[in-house]
Structure 1
C-alpha cells in the first residue's frame, strides 16, 4: 500500500487543473509575445490567470508577476529590494527557508548588508517585542519572515508584523509558500511589500510560482531579456504552468473551508492515534501539534531514535512517503537547520507528516500501525544483527 504524506514538499495535481492545462498542451501553443492570433489567444489566457490570482488575494493584476517558483520569487524580492533601495540591514529568523537564508548570506558575505536575527520562543514563534526593538534601532530595514514554517508549521502573525513595518518605515517580505491556498489573504488591507507562492504546494504544476510586488515598488529585475512580465522577469512565459497555477488557486479557495476542515481532522486524528500507539517518548516540534498556532496540514513528530536505520527510510521501504524535515534539506547532509534552532531533544528522530485533501483516515491508521510495528520489531532486529555479527 503506497501512501503519500509529504504534501508540504509537493502535492498531486488536482483533476480540474489537468483539465485546464490540456488545451495548452495540445492546441493553444502560440508564443504569448507573438502578435498573431495564436499568440493573442495564449496572451489572453495569461491575462485571465493573472486577474484570477489578483482577485483571490485582494491585489491588482499589475502587482502579480509569474516566476519559476517561490525560490526564484524570494530571490527576486530580497535581491531586488536590497539593490533598488540600497538596503544595508535585514531582519530575519534562523528558521526561514534556505531560499531566504542563503540569499541573505550571500549579500552579507559581499558586504551589502548586516543581518539581525529576531528572537524565537521555545516553540519557534517570533518575539514581536524583540522585532520592534530591532526596528527601532535600525530604521528603513528589510524584514523577511515567513508566514508558516515549512517544517514545523508554525504560523507567524504577519498582520502584526505589517503594522510594525509601517510604523518604522520598513519593507516587509513574507514567504507565504506554505499558506497560499490554505489561508485567506486580503493584500489590500495589509502593509506587505512582497509575498510569494508556488503552485505545486496547492495541487498545481511544478516549476511555476508568482510574486506579489506592491504597486508602490519598482525593484530591479534579476532575469533580463525579452521584457516579459512588465519587464520584471524576462523569458517566454510558462503558459501551461500559469494556467495551472490560477486554476489550482481557484479550486483551493473555492473549497477552502471544506478542505481545511478535513485536513485538520486528519492531523488531530493522527495525534490521537499516536497517543495510544504504544510508542514511548513521542513529542512534537515547534507548535505543530497546535490547531490554532500552526497550519493544519503539517505535523512534525519527534520519535525515539532507532538502533539502526531511520524511521523515514523504514516507512519508505513499506511505501509510506514522509519527510525528515523539508524536501530541500533532504538533498544535503546534516540535521534540519529549523529543528537545530529550537530547544528540542537531540536524541530523537524528527519526521514531518504533511496531509492534503487526498489523504484518508484509513491511511493515517496504516501509518501509525506501521510506526508501532517498526518500534515493536526494532529491538528484536537489533538482537539478531548482533548475534550474526558475533
Structure 2
C-alpha cells in the first residue's frame, strides 16, 4: 500500500539538500565553535553564515537572530524573558485563546507567578477583533503574544496591524510564526514585530532546532544560563549540523516561493472543495480565503475524529485531528471550541495539511476514499440514525 502523508503541519521530511548540507558537520567539521583552532572556527563561520541567511528572509539584522532547540523553547524564552525584564513596568500579558500550547501553558505558568493574562476571543474564522485588542490594553500591559498563523485551522492573523497597535502603545509584540514560515513572506521591521519564533522541522529541516528573533534594544532576560554561546544570550554548545540545516531549509523555502505555494494552494482548494461537495453535513473550519496555502480543516457531523484517523491510516493516509502536540488527548481541540464549535462537532474534525511532495493523484485518492469512510462511521452512529429519521 502506498502511504500518503498529509500531516505537514505536524512535521515535514528533511529535504535531501538539507541533509547534504548538514552531514559534514557530524563527522568532519565536528569542532566546538567556542574553541580557537581552525576546525572550530570553520564551525563558527557556518553558524554566522546560517544566522545571516535566516536574518535575510525575516528582514532582520544578523545580530537579532538566536538559535534555540525549537519553537517551544523560542516561545518560552520570548514570553518569560520579556515579562521578566519588564515587570517593573507592569504585569499584564495579552494573548489569544487559540495559541499553541507552548504559548498558552507558558502564560498559565506566569499567572501562577502573579502575572495577569487576557485571553482574547476569536471569531468563527479564528481571527481577533483589533478593536477588542485595543480595549484589552491596560497601563500595565507589557507584552502582546499572538500567533502569525494557527496550526490547526490555518487562519492568518492581521500581524502588521497588531504590531502597529503594540508599537503605538509602547508594548512588546511577540508572534509564534512556526506554521507561517515558508508559506508567507515576513518582514519583522515592516510588521513591527519585536520577537518571532520559528522551528526547523516545519520547513523540511531537522527537528530540535529553532530560532528566536529578538529586535535589537528589546528588553529580555535569558531563559537558559551557562556558557557564553549566542553572544551570552543562550547557553549551551551549538548544534552546528542543525543550525546549518535550518538555514538551508529556510533558503529553500523561499526559492521559487510563489510557484511552489500556488501549486499547493491549487491542490488544497481541490481537496477542500471536493470534500465539501461530496460529503454532506461537513463544514470548513477557519477562514475560506485568509488561511495557509496547505491547510484543510473540516468538521464532519456524527463522526468521531480519532476513529476517522484510524480508518484513514488503514487506507494509507496519515492525517490529524488537530495539533500533533495534543494527539494523545481525548479532549476536543481548544482551537475549535474557541471558534464556537460545540464539543461533539469539535470532536469530529479532520486536519489535512499538504506539502511540497503532495501530488494530484494523492488528493484524488483521498477524495475517493474519504466519503465512504465518513459514511461507514455515520452508519454506526445512533445520533445520525435519529437525525436521518427526523429529516426524511
TM-score by length of 2: 0.92
Partner of 1:320: 317
What's the secondary structure of 2:39's corresponding residue? helix
CA distance 1:382–1:192, change in 2 (3 Å): closer
Partner of 1:302: 299
Distance 2:96 2:305 in 1: 34
Distance 1:375 1:78 in 2: 41
Q: Kindly indicate whether residue 349 of structure 2 is the aligned counterpart of residue 350 of structure 1.
A: yes
Q: How does 1:28-43 map to 2 (within 5 A)?
A: 28-43=29-44
Q: Kindly indicate whether residue 101 of structure 2 is the aligned counterpart of residue 98 of structure 1.
A: yes
Partner of 1:387: none
What's the secondary structure of 1:141's corresponding residue? strand
The structural deviation recorded for 1:105 is 0.5
CA distance 1:343–1:20, change in 2 (3 Å): same
Question: What CA deviation, in whole Å up to 9, does each residue of 1:95-126 have, x standing for no partner?
Answer: 11100010010110121x11112232222210
Partner of 1:366: 365
CA distance 1:119–1:332, change in 2 (3 Å): closer
Question: What CA deviation, in whole Å up to 9, does each residue of 1:295-314 have, x standing for no partner?
Answer: 11111110133489611111
8 Å Cα contact 2:306-2:321 kept in structure 1: no
The structural deviation recorded for 1:27 is 1.2
Partner of 1:88: 91
Partner of 1:248: 249
The structural deviation recorded for 1:333 is 3.2
What's the secondary structure of 1:254's corresponding residue? coil
Distance 2:74 2:37 in 1: 30
Distance 2:139 2:121 in 1: 16
8 Å Cα contact 1:90-1:141 kept in structure 2: yes
CA distance 1:15–1:201, change in 2 (3 Å): same
CA distance 1:193–1:370, change in 2 (3 Å): same
What's the secondary structure of 1:310's corresponding residue? helix
Distance 1:313 1:50 in 2: 41
Distance 2:379 2:175 in 1: 48
What's the secondary structure of 2:296's corresponding residue? strand
Partner of 1:280: 280
Structure 1 residue runs without a partner (length 5+)? 384-390
Q: Kindly indicate whether residue 118 of structure 2 is the aligned counterpart of residue 116 of structure 1.
A: yes
What's the secondary structure of 2:327's corresponding residue? helix
Partner of 2:129: 127
Distance 1:98 1:22 in 2: 33
The structural deviation recorded for 1:381 is 6.8
Q: How does 1:1-390 map to 2 (within 5 A)?
A: 1-86=2-87, 87-111=90-114, 113-135=115-137, 137-277=138-278, 279-287=279-287, 290-291=288-289, 293-306=290-303, 310-348=307-345, 349-378=348-377
CA distance 1:164–1:224, change in 2 (3 Å): same
The structural deviation recorded for 1:188 is 2.7
Structure 2 residue runs without a partner (length 5+)? 383-392
The structural deviation recorded for 1:44 is 0.7
